[in-house]
């Protein structure tokens, strides 16, 4: 133990001569873990908000029981349902007069936890007591209450920030009396969640409606966290390259110390142990800074995140960030692991140092053979991962495949640069010696700047890749949405009477109605959603089919074929013209696939068939939605008549414009954050280049001295150095874009189909590339200039003095 501390002291003392490197090491770890932990916080907050919002959404989209004809269900129905064993909760939901506020009445005792922030129960607060005292409670957010300052004087208002705006929740009895609906409810919530076996309702006048829309929102937020997590991981990685260069440099300087220690007879394991201990101490310190920095950065990013989340769920996440001790340890642990990983090469190098051997930078046999083994393993591994991700259900294989492709790219990068420069130099006529030397020296410079440029390469290529995928998705999605939502209105149908009324109004205004009807069936032992629709020419003109035969529309009109969604076709490997055995409502049918349609954003398996065919399985079911197409001039009148005479609340009329706006808003916000993170990552890459430049400064001076001595001015030498950096940066940019396209391709061809079930046609975005390219050039230029200033190369006397003295 005593010896351990003695050795540790000697080892640590080395930093005295390498204060710069120590600083950069700490900074590198701190930056990397700042980025990582900020992304972690953001993701945690997102997931937290998601959970609660999905709970809320599922309340709204819980299967509900309504009356077939009347706009309400009665106390009588309730009692009879409960008596026959149905678990239901009565709910009142209606617009508040003269406002756009929705008031909801629930059974506070049964449903109270729905209102309160997660983890609290009604008993925790004094609400229960107030309730028992007969007070009429009304829950809502502060903003909502501001809109009704003078109304509802009989209610005790309780502010809860997490309740969506324009929504008020009260006890069912008080809401009933407020709306004059004694003994009546809008619907019953069906609590028994297992819907796969459709329960038969005991009452003829009632019907069960279910809607799975919540799943779609979950998908969008999943892709959101996925996106952010990818960037977080990337930035952490890029940041660790700073550590890689500075520790590598510092370790080169302590070779002599280690050699002496070994000569004295200190055990190798003890030396390694002290080295690791030292690194862990540094990463504990820097990781703590990083955790704090992450907290600050997350706070900066969160307003945007907030925006996105509230777009998705209509409910803001609270600005408060939860930080726990375990989270802190987790951040520091990640920092420690990252540090050890990025220092492993330097550690191995010191470990291999023999006391008798001469100090030499080149001879690192173990490292060489190790890297040869790694290279040799890389290609078969990549193919294995590819094979696994295409054929098996192992999801990790997808990421391992992407990761190994990126690693292959990183190993190819220096090789390609070297070959390219080599061949150009070879082709030069003999008299262009200066250019020849420039190319050769660029090659060497590039090899020394390996870490900096790999960081650049990663930052740029992943940026281009993720951007390419997300933007392609966006534009494909928007175009698809544009066609898919061809009607002016989509109206949810509550009952048959309502349907007839709506159809009357549509007729009155010369519109066309397209009913859409939905139920469940099974294919290959898996649940699928079955849609019945009327395949008219409007669908034919607007509906984007990914794959079809020439007479696809005629055949589906005749009920000979069905269309399946892309998700279903990819997951179940269904091709055009395949015959499917379907099991629908206890009947079996064998039918051919006539077309495959895109259905982005929907995680479910789905197929569509002609309405008449659908009716053979579900003869009495009425459409759940109808799409209405109207001439422009009739729209306003139609809407007014519809909302005043037929539909109880405006929520059941979906305005596609609104849907479009919300979807685009979500995308835009995801972009904003991704772009911010991309910029930060590029900045970190530039910083890595900067530390790399500083760390090789001495070596570089020796390389350049002969040129200077031959008769070049210092300014000329510096200009030539800048030119080399410029050449290298642009080559890296060029290759990064190539790599970025490959990444985008893998994301769309492998990861998206396997994770979400659709394939997006990848597009290219030269404008964005140019933008990124320019930013990269500016960043590397400043990194170079600053590193020159830092090492005083600029003042001509200093360039040679130190070196001349060392000769």
Partner 1 sequence: MKDHIVEIKDVSKIFFTKSGSLELFTDVNINFCASTSYALIGESGVGKSTLLHIASGLEKPSTGEVFVGNQNFWDLKASAQALLRLNETAIIFQQYNLIPCLSVKENIEFQSRVNKKHNNEYINAIIDDLQIARLLGEWPENLSGGEQQRVAIARALAAQPKILFADEPTGSLDEKNSKIVLDMLLNINRKYNTSLVVITHSLAIASKLEVCLELKSRKISKK
Ligand X SMILES: Nc1ncnc2c1ncn2[C@@H]1O[C@H](COP(=O)(O)OP(=O)(O)O)[C@@H](O)[C@H]1O
Enumerate binding residues for ligand X (CB under 6 A): 801, 805
423 makes contact with partner 1 (CB under 8 A): no
Q: Are 464 and 736 in contact (CB under 8 A)?
A: yes
Binds partner 1 (CB under 8 A): choice among 226, 399, 436, 781: 436
CB of residue 716 to partner 1, shortest distance in Å: 6
Q: State which of positions 271-300 bind partner 1 (CB under 8 A).
A: none
Q: What DSSP assignment string belongs to 448-469?
A: HTHHHHHHHHHHHHHHHHHHHH
Given the rule CB under 8 A, which of 122-130, 205-213, 431-439, 612-620 is the region that contacts partner 1? 431-439
428 makes contact with partner 1 (CB under 8 A): no
CB of residue 433 to partner 1, shortest distance in Å: 4
CB of residue 696 to ligand X, shortest distance in Å: 23
> Which of 730, 757, 243 has the alpha carbon at shortest distance from 451?
243
Q: Pick one of partner 1, ligand X, none as the site partner of residue 706 (Cβ within 5 to 8 A by kind).
A: partner 1
* Count of beta carbons in the 10 Å neighbourhood of residue 628: 23
CB of residue 434 to partner 1, shortest distance in Å: 6
Tell me, residue by residue from 697 to 736, as one string, x for binding to partner 1 by CB under 8 A and - for no binding.
-----xx-xxx-xxxxxxxx--------------------
Distance CA 130, CA 112 (A): 14
Q: Pick one of partner 1, ligand X, none as the site partner of residue 437 (Cβ within 5 to 8 A by kind).
A: partner 1
> Which of 115, 106, 125, 238 has the alpha carbon at shortest distance from 185?
106
Question: How many residues at the interface with partner 1, by CB under 8 A?
Answer: 30
Nearer to ligand X, 507 or 801 (CB): 801
CB of residue 706 to ligand X, shortest distance in Å: 19
CB of residue 801 to ligand X, shortest distance in Å: 4
Nearer to partner 1, 361 or 619 (CB): 361
* Count of beta carbons in the 10 Å neighbourhood of residue 284: 15
Nearer to ligand X, 645 or 801 (CB): 801
Tell me, residue by residue from 768 to 797, as one string, x for binding to partner 1 by CB under 8 A and - for no binding.
----------------------------xx
Q: Pick one of ligand X, partner 1, none as the site partner of residue 797 (Cβ within 5 to 8 A by kind).
A: partner 1
Q: Pick one of partner 1, ligand X, none as the site partner of residue 325 (Cβ within 5 to 8 A by kind).
A: none
Distances (CA, A) of 500 to 65, 506, 651: 20, 10, 19
| Cβ contacts of 287 within 8 Å, gap of 6 or more | 29, 30, 33, 331, 332, 333, 334, 335, 336
CB-side neighbour CA atoms (13 Å) of 197: 1
Nearer to partner 1, 422 or 782 (CB): 422
Tokens of 674: 């991704």
CB neighbour class for 210 (10 Å; exposed up to 12, middle 13-18, buried from 19): middle
Q: Pick one of partner 1, ligand X, none as the site partner of residue 99 (Cβ within 5 to 8 A by kind).
A: none
Q: Are 529 and 605 in contact (CB under 8 A)?
A: yes
Distance CA 652, CA 491 (A): 6
Q: Pick one of ligand X, partner 1, none as the site partner of residue 76 (Cβ within 5 to 8 A by kind).
A: none
Please name the helix (run of DSSP H) or strand (run of DSSP E) that holds residue 582, with its range, or none.
strand 579-584
Q: What DSSP assignment string belongs to 254-320?
A: THHHHHHHHHHT--HHHHHHHHHHHHHHHHHHHHHHHHHHHHHHHHHHHHHHHHHHHHHHS-PPPS-
Nearer to ligand X, 145 or 799 (CB): 799
Distance CA 254, CA 120 (A): 57
Q: Are 160 and 139 in contact (CB under 8 A)?
A: yes
Distance CA 540, CA 534 (A): 10
CB of residue 21 to partner 1, shortest distance in Å: 23
CB of residue 696 to partner 1, shortest distance in Å: 13
Nearer to ligand X, 96 or 793 (CB): 793
> Which of 127, 132, 129 has the alpha carbon at shortest distance from 169?
127
CB of residue 798 to ligand X, shortest distance in Å: 9
Q: Pick one of partner 1, ligand X, none as the site partner of residue 146 (Cβ within 5 to 8 A by kind).
A: none
Distances (CA, A) of 765 to 396, 549, 670: 29, 32, 18
418 makes contact with partner 1 (CB under 8 A): no
DSSP assignment letter at 362: S
803 makes contact with partner 1 (CB under 8 A): yes
Q: Pick one of ligand X, partner 1, none as the site partner of residue 13 (Cβ within 5 to 8 A by kind).
A: none
Nearer to partner 1, 152 or 707 (CB): 707
444 makes contact with partner 1 (CB under 8 A): yes
Nearer to ligand X, 710 or 807 (CB): 807
599 makes contact with partner 1 (CB under 8 A): no
Nearer to partner 1, 113 or 440 (CB): 440
DSSP assignment letter at 16: G
CB of residue 355 to partner 1, shortest distance in Å: 24
804 makes contact with partner 1 (CB under 8 A): yes
Distance CA 366, CA 379 (A): 21
Nearer to ligand X, 427 or 805 (CB): 805
CB of residue 717 to partner 1, shortest distance in Å: 9
Distance CA 535, CA 557 (A): 6
CB of residue 450 to partner 1, shortest distance in Å: 16
Distance CA 634, CA 631 (A): 6
Distance CA 732, CA 776 (A): 10
Q: Which residues here bind partner 1, judged by CB under 8 A?
A: 430-431, 433-434, 436-437, 440-441, 443-444, 702-703, 705-707, 709-716, 796-797, 800-801, 803-804, 807
């Amino acid at each position: 133990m005593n010896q351990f501390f003695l050795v540790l002291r000697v080892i640590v003392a080395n930093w005295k001569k390498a204060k710069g490197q120590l600083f950069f090491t700490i900074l590198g770890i701190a930056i990397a873990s700042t980025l990582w932990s900020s992304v972690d916080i953001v993701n945690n907050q997102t997931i937290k908000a998601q959970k609660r919002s999905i709970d809320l959404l599922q309340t709204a989209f819980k299967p509900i029981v309504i009356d077939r004809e009347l706009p309400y269900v009665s106390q009588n129905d309730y009692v009879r349902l409960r008596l026959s064993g149905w678990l239901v909760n009565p709910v009142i939901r209606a617009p508040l007069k003269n406002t756009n506020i929705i008031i909801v009445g629930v059974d506070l005792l049964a449903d109270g936890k729905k209102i309160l922030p997660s983890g609290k129960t009604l008993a925790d607060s004094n609400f229960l007591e107030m309730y028992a005292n007969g007070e009429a409670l009304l829950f809502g957010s502060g903003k909502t209450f501001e809109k009704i300052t003078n109304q509802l004087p009989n209610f005790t208002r309780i502010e809860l920030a997490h309740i969506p705006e324009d929504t008020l929740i009260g006890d069912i009895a008080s809401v009933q009396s407020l709306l004059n609906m004694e003994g009546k409810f809008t619907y019953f919530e069906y609590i028994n969640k297992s819907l796969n076996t459709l329960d038969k309702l005991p009452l003829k006048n009632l019907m069960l409606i279910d809607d799975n829309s919540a799943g779609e929102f979950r998908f969008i937020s999943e892709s959101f966290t996925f996106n952010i997590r990818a960037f977080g991981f990337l930035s952490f990685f890029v940041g660790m390259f700073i550590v890689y260069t500075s520790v590598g440099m510092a370790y080169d300087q302590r070779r002599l110390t280690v050699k002496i220690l070994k000569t004295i007879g200190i055990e190798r394991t003890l030396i390694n142990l002290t080295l690791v201990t030292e690194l862990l101490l540094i990463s504990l310190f820097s990781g703590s800074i990083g955790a704090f920095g992450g907290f600050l950065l997350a706070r900066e990013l969160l307003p945007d995140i907030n925006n996105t989340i509230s777009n998705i769920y209509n409910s803001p996440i609270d600005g408060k960030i939860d930080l726990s001790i375990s989270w802190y340890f987790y951040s520091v642990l990640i920092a420690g692991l990252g540090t050890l990983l990025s220092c492993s090469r330097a550690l191995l190098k010191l470990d291999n140092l023999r006391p008798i051997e001469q100090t030499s930078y080149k001879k690192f046999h173990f490292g060489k053979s190790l890297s040869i083994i790694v290279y040799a393993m890389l290609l078969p591994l990549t193919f294995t991962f590819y094979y696994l991700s295409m054929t098996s259900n192992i999801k990790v294989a997808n990421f391992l495949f992407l990761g190994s492709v990126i690693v292959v790219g990183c190993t190819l990068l220096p090789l390609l640069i070297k070959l390219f420069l080599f061949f150009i130099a070879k082709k030069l006529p003999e008299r262009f010696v200066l250019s020849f030397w420039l190319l050769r020296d660029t090659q060497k410079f590039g090899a020394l700047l390996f870490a900096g440029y790999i960081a650049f390469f990663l930052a740029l290529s992943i940026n281009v890749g993720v951007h390419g995928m997300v933007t392609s998705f966006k534009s494909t999605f928007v175009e698809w949405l544009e066609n898919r939502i061809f009607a002016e209105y989509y109206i949810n149908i509550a009952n048959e009477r309502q349907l007839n009324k709506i159809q009357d109004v549509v007729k009155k205004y010369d519109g066309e109605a397209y009913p859409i009807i939905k139920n469940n069936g099974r294919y290959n032992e898996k649940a699928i959603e079955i849609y019945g629709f009327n395949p008219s020419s409007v669908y034919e003109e607007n509906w984007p089919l990914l794959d079809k035969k020439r007479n696809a529309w005629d055949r589906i009109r005749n009920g000979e074929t069905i269309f399946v969604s892309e998700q279903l076709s990819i997951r179940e490997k269904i091709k055009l013209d395949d015959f499917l055995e379907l099991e629908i409502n206890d009947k079996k049918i064998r039918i051919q696939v006539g077309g495959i349609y895109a259905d982005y954003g929907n995680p479910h398996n789905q197929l569509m068939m002609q309405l008449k065919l659908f009716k053979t399985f579900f003869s009495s079911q009425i459409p759940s939605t109808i799409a209405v197409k109207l001439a422009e001039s009739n729209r306003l009148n139609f809407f007014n008549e519809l909302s005043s005479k037929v539909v109880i609340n405006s929520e059941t009329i979906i305005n596609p414009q609104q849907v479009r706006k919300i979807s685009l808003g979500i995308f835009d916000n995801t972009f904003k954050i991704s772009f911010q993170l991309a910029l930060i990552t590029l900045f970190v890459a530039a910083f890595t280049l900067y530390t790399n430049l500083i760390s090789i400064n001495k070596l570089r001076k020796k390389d350049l001295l002969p040129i200077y001595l031959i008769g070049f001015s210092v300014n000329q030498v510096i200009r030539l150095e800048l030119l080399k950096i410029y050449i290298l940066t642009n080559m890296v940019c060029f290759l990064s874009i190539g790599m970025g396209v490959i990444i985008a391709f893998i994301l769309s061809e492998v990861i998206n189909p396997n994770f979400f079930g659709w394939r997006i046609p990848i597009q290219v975005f030269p404008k964005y590339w140019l933008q990124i390219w320019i930013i990269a050039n500016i960043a590397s230029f400043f990194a170079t200039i600053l590193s020159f200033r830092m090492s005083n190369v600029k003042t001509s006397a200093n360039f040679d003095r130190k070196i001349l003295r060392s000769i």
